[in-house]
Amino acid sequence: MVNFILRLFMAMLLFASTCTEAVSASYTQYSALAQKYDKLSSDQIMAAAEKHEENEDNEKAIVLYTIVTNRFNNNLSESEKQKCILAYVKVGILYVKIGSYIKALDSEIEGIKKAKLCKDKKYNSQLYNVIGNISVSYTHLTLPTNSL
C-alpha cells in the first residue's frame, strides 16, 4: 500500500512539473513576443499580426492584437481608438478559428464596452456579427439530435 501511494505521489509530481514547464514555455515565448512589439505603433503591430494571421499562426496574432486592445483609453485619438476596436474584432475571430468560443465572446463583449466610448461606431456591426456567429455555431453544436 505504501509503495502504491509513493508511486501515485511521484506520478502526480511528474505530471505537475510537465504541465508547469509547458505553461512556462508558452508564457515565456509570448511574453518575449509582446516585449518585442510593445514599443511599436499600433499600425506596425496590426500589420505584424495580420502577417501572422495569414501564416495561420493564430496564437501569435492574438498576442499582437491583444497588445493593441490593451492600449485603449479615453485619451487616445478617435483613429487610435478605432484600431483598438478593430483589434478586438480580430481577436474574437481568431479565437473562433481555434475553437475558443468563450474567449471570443469575452473579447467581443469587451470590444462593445470600449466601442461605446467612441464617437465612430464603424466596427460595432462586426463585433455583434462575431457574437451572432458564435451563438449560431454554439447552439448548433449543443442541440440534442431529437430537437431538430
pLDDT of residue 66: 94
Using an 8 Å Cβ cutoff, are 94 and 62 in contact? yes
Could you give the percent of the chain with pLDDT greater than 90?
Answer: 48
pLDDT of residue 23: 41
Rounded to 10 degrees, what is the CA torsion of 64, 47, 123, 135? -50
pLDDT band at residue 121, thresholds of 50, 70 and 90? confident
Tens of pLDDT, residues 10-67: 555 455 544 444 444 445 667 887 788 888 899 999 999 999 999 999 999 999 999 9
Please give the backbone phi and psi of residue 98, each rounded to the nearest 5 degrees, phi first: -95, 5
